[in-house]
A and B are shown apart, each in its own frame.
Chain A
Amino acid sequence: MLKTAPVLSADQLSIARLVPKGSRVLDLGCGDGAMLDYLIRERGCTGYGVEIDDANIQACVARGVNVIQLNLDEGLAMFGDASFDVVLQIDTLQHLHNAEVMLRETARVGRTGIVAFPNFGHWPNRLAVLRGRMPVTKVLPYQWYDTPNIRVGTLRDFAALAQKNRLNILDSFGLQDGQEIRFWPNARASRAVFKFQHG
């Protein structure tokens, strides 16, 4: 294990607070494993990350975090029903071809799901589109032609998708510079966060 604890961003810390202490966690698209490492050290959690990228797999192993190399577009057949307390999908959903299937899978595998993604409804994004251009921001830093974000949606879009899939939304809010935005989050927050359960 790395000697030093990972440093999370203010947004990540807000999401980490949603994970109950001692949870068994599956982190889909876990990146370099920093969040999972933090949850293990600071919140007494256990679990696994899932990643597709070779360098991230290496980074997770170097941290001593359990990681499974898997393409999420191939589904979560490896994981049993309700086999985790919490399944995280942080900045992952927007890269998936089968985003809806994965949302259902997240609810199947986890007793609780937590999804965070860039909120396209944030007012600077709306303004950019009003001006006739796709937004380029801190949370959506790519040009329209090279973005890996193949799904762009808003807080309200996600709420509708959750309802369509009969998920119970336990909590939802926006995140802006680490602050939880609960009043008019769809316009005021660059990131959307949902905590939900199987309906």
Chain B
Amino acid sequence: MPGFLLFAVLFRPFILLVAKPQSMHFADALPLQSGASIRAYDLTYETYGTLNAGRSNAVLICHALNASHHVAGVYVDERGVELPKSEGWWDTMIGPGKPVDTDVFFVIGVNNLGSCFGSTGPMQVNPDSGEIYGADFPVVTVQDWVQAQARLLDALGIQTLAAVMGGSLGGMQALSWTLQYPDRVRHAVAVASAPNLTAENIAFNEVARRAIVTDPDFHGGHFYRHGVLPQRGLRIARMIGHITYLSDDVMNEKFGRQLRQAVVETAGLEASPADVPARAAAYRYSTQDVEFQIESYLRYQGDKFSEYFDANTYLLITRALDYFDPAGEHGGQLARALAPAKAKFLLVSFKTDWRFSPARSREIVKALLDNQRDVSYAEIDAPHGHDAFLLDDPRYMGIVRSYFESKVAPC
């Protein structure tokens, strides 16, 4: 083995995958499902790996509610030093030597229209009015996103995807790809996804949206003009969301009934809250103090989120989730809706995921079986609820790795 190869193999885990966001402008208007259109727009995207000569190794990654084009790798400063906490949101899954191996595949992450990480969205200026879009940004759907992604692929010279892949709402986009462009997708990988949202799921979205739009700083979605942000609403939206992404068990294991360290200490009780459950002696008998660890955790998550996420984007993306329903146009019959799909499928769900439960993935599997499509399905017994799709479970990673190695890999 030549020396440099040995070096590369031994040190591969330590070689940084450096991500660089790029932007592409689209001058032609994009007609939307609603009948409206976006006159001109930009898409922010990242790519990892190399497109092969046959242009047959491209993998498109679709993101969910609060993620972005930054799927894998890290950002570096001008001296090439890794920026802290800059890993892509699916860095466990995608990269050199990872289950979706960027040494083999050319992976594309793209920020969807209406999002707030660079692609045209409600925070940007509406060319028709010269004002920030805000609430005037048109409602976009999963199908619209797929159309925009397809235009990006056209521009990149990619006719056929080796695979389209996503989790949760990203899985819905993967599914939609196989219906809108059946000849452009060889494989679809949908993780922790669903063929549509249940009433309970729409209900959670609605609570989050009400939290945002009833924030006095929301100003009907035109808060940018007022120089304020509806952060209170966003915080609550995120808290609600976060509860639904975890399982009861994992929350209990992580937080249980533990009180915050400060609460225990001011009560004059020694002990770390990590091993001591709530005791009446430590209660402050307050209704508004943050006493339990879970309260503190949720508030922290809410605060963090409200600092970087756009309120209108939250409304738009949850609406796209609500509307997605390929079976809707086929009398509710998913099997009929999936008839156009030609791709081979891998579906993965997680037993403790109650927001996108295994039963929902099984509906997709059944519809594919009814159409005699190639499909494999794994139901992973991970404890983490919906969040499991972003975590590093060896069974989950192993199955995706095997699928890409045995089936997706270009011959």
A78 and B376: CB pair below 8 A? no
Which of these binds chain A: B248-256, B318-326, B367-375? B367-375
A77 to B399, CA, bound (A): 24
**Contact residues of A between 53 and 81, Cβ < 8 Å to B:** 54, 57-58, 60-64, 66-70, 78-80
A2 adjacent to chain B (CB < 8 Å) = yes
Number of A-B contacts (CB under 8 A): 57
Map CB proximity to A onto B327-349 as digits: 1 under 8 Å, 0 otherwise.
00000000000000000001000
A61 to B347, CA, bound (A): 12
CB < 8 Å: which of A61, A80, A83 contacts B376? A61
B362 adjacent to chain A (CB < 8 Å) = yes
Question: Contacts of A78 on B, CB cut-off 8 Å?
Answer: 362, 365-366, 369
Question: Contacts of B374 on A, CB cut-off 8 Å?
Answer: 66
Question: Contacts of B380 on A, CB cut-off 8 Å?
Answer: 54
Q: How far is the CB of A18 from chain B (nearest CB, A)?
A: 22
Q: How far is the CB of B165 from chain A (nearest CB, A)?
A: 15
B377 adjacent to chain A (CB < 8 Å) = yes
B402 and A62: CB pair below 8 A? yes
Question: Contacts of B284 on A, CB cut-off 8 Å?
Answer: none
A62 and B369: CB pair below 8 A? no
A68 and B375: CB pair below 8 A? yes
Map CB proximity to A onto B391-408 as digits: 1 under 8 Å, 0 otherwise.
000010011001101110
Question: Contacts of B403 on A, CB cut-off 8 Å?
Answer: 61
A60 to B399, CA, bound (A): 9
B406 and A2: CB pair below 8 A? yes
B87 adjacent to chain A (CB < 8 Å) = no
B370 and A66: CB pair below 8 A? no
Question: Contacts of B377 on A, CB cut-off 8 Å?
Answer: 67-70
A58 and B398: CB pair below 8 A? yes
Q: Which residue of A lies closest to B349 (CB)?
A: A69
B295 adjacent to chain A (CB < 8 Å) = no
A1 adjacent to chain B (CB < 8 Å) = yes
B303 adjacent to chain A (CB < 8 Å) = no
A80 and B406: CB pair below 8 A? no
A48 adjacent to chain B (CB < 8 Å) = yes
B369 and A61: CB pair below 8 A? no
Q: How far is the CB of B1 from chain A (nearest CB, A)?
A: 22
B206 adjacent to chain A (CB < 8 Å) = no
Q: How far is the CB of B389 from chain A (nearest CB, A)?
A: 16
A50 to B402, CA, bound (A): 17
Q: How far is the CB of B5 from chain A (nearest CB, A)?
A: 23
Q: How far is the CB of B338 from chain A (nearest CB, A)?
A: 14
B369 and A54: CB pair below 8 A? no
B375 and A58: CB pair below 8 A? no
A58 and B369: CB pair below 8 A? no
Q: How far is the CB of B378 from chain A (nearest CB, A)?
A: 5
A83 to B376, CA, bound (A): 17
A131 to B398, CA, bound (A): 48
Question: Contacts of B399 on A, CB cut-off 8 Å?
Answer: 57-58, 61
Contact flag A80-B370 (CB < 8 Å), given A68-B375, A69-B377: yes
Question: Contacts of A69 on B, CB cut-off 8 Å?
Answer: 377-379
Q: How far is the CB of A108 from chain B (nearest CB, A)?
A: 14
A80 to B366, CA, bound (A): 9
A83 to B373, CA, bound (A): 13
Q: How far is the CB of A106 from chain B (nearest CB, A)?
A: 16
Contact flag A58-B366 (CB < 8 Å), given A67-B376, A69-B377, A69-B379: no
Q: How far is the CB of A2 from chain B (nearest CB, A)?
A: 7
Q: How far is the CB of B295 from chain A (nearest CB, A)?
A: 36
Question: Contacts of B372 on A, CB cut-off 8 Å?
Answer: 24, 46
Question: Contacts of A2 on B, CB cut-off 8 Å?
Answer: 406
B402 and A58: CB pair below 8 A? yes
Question: Contacts of A62 on B, CB cut-off 8 Å?
Answer: 402, 405-406
A64 and B407: CB pair below 8 A? yes
Question: Contacts of A64 on B, CB cut-off 8 Å?
Answer: 406-407
B369 and A79: CB pair below 8 A? yes
A61 to B374, CA, bound (A): 12
Residue among A60, A63, A78, A79 with most chain B CB within 10 A: A78
Map CB proximity to B onto A19-54 as digits: 1 under 8 Å, 0 otherwise.
000001000000000000000000000101000001
Q: How far is the CB of A44 from chain B (nearest CB, A)?
A: 15
30 contacts between A and B (CB under 8 A): A46-B372, A54-B378, A57-B378, A57-B399, A58-B398, A58-B399, A60-B376, A61-B346, A61-B378, A61-B399, A61-B402, A61-B403, A61-B406, A62-B402, A64-B406, A64-B407, A66-B374, A67-B377, A68-B369, A68-B375, A68-B377, A69-B378, A69-B379, A70-B377, A78-B365, A78-B366, A80-B369, A80-B370, A83-B369, A83-B370
